[in-house]
Amino acid sequence: MTPEEETQFKARQKSRNKALGFVLVGLVVLFFALTIVRFPDAEDRAAFEKEKAEAGQ
């Protein structure tokens, strides 16, 4: 492998590593957000509907 090819290889490798790093950071942020703001379950939806019905009356 010539020095020029090696330089190009390292540049491509560095670019891929940065992209993979961004993907991993994005997943960490997504999982953290889902942990903090959890999805409502059936009980939560029922309580919300009850509050909504009471407020409308």
- Which pair of structure tokens corresponds to residue 3? 């020095």
Q: Are 47 and 55 in contact (CB under 8 A)?
A: no
- What is the DSSP-derived secondary structure letter of residue 38? P
Report the distance separating Cα 15 and Cα 7, nearest Å.
12
- Which pair of structure tokens corresponds to residue 4? 């020029």
The percent of residues above 90 in pLDDT, for the chain, comes to 58
Identify the sign of the CA torsion 42, 37, 28, 12: positive
pLDDT the model gives residue 57: 63
pLDDT the model gives residue 55: 85
- The 3-state DSSP class for residue 52 equals helix
Residue 41, pLDDT above cutoff 90: no
